[in-house]
Structure 1
């Protein structure tokens, strides 16, 4: 959800939240997304802030505009988001994780084992 305490701007959080909705298949290709006014009401924010979040996704070709109808999910949205998060977010987290493991003197195999265990637990929970 959106956090007013986050150092991340609210409009960026809106864009990321919509991306997550697309990744979870709650918003599918060619499906209409929430308007800036709906987002503003949902998160109790200014409509202009919500519009900035939507604009980010239009600029990244995750959403497209239909004049007079609103914004819709592009056919390639999920793939674009996956690639973006893989190259930006996930790689940064892996670097942070490896650095922290090195500080704690955790060897590579132990770290791999920890990742495998966490993955198994997450898969069990999602069933």
Structure 2
């Protein structure tokens, strides 16, 4: 499951974020404990705890004393909002700049996007 490109705790946090985004983990659903994560993936419990702490700090998870960790009620929408903003910053803004450098009118881009929305082939 884990690779060498980023720290394991970050990969765990990213996996949980993805599960929340795609609906595998739902609002107020309990997630595995840090010890369960550590045992299942054969990692140090401190590594799993670091991932969970990051998600709690972000508001994706919340703790219930004596019961465990749960998905925050608004976690999915919160993550979607973050991803939407990143989409514009990482995809749309550079595309518009590239189009400008190629003298492609914005209207032509909009027309192309509308074709995709309507299911037509450009």
TM-score normalised by L of structure 2: 0.72
Q: How many positions carry a matched residue from both structures? A: 116
Name the structure 1 match of 2:67.
69
Rounded Cα–Cα distance in structure 2 between residues aligned with 1:25 and 1:49? 24
Deviation at 1:68, TM superposition (A): 1.3
Deviation at 1:30, TM superposition (A): 0.9
Q: How does 1:1-127 map to 2 (within 5 A)?
A: 1-4=1-4, 6=5, 8-87=6-85, 89-94=86-91, 95=93, 105=102, 107=104, 109=108, 113=112
TM-score normalised by L of structure 1: 0.69
| Maintained 8 Å contact 1:64/1:74 | yes
Rounded Cα–Cα distance in structure 2 between residues aligned with 1:44 and 1:2? 11
Q: Which runs of 4+ in 1 moved over 3 A?
A: 41-44, 95-103, 105-114
Gaps of 5+ in 2: none
Question: Once superposed, what is the RMSD of the aligned Cα atoms?
Answer: 3.0
Deviation at 1:43, TM superposition (A): 3.2
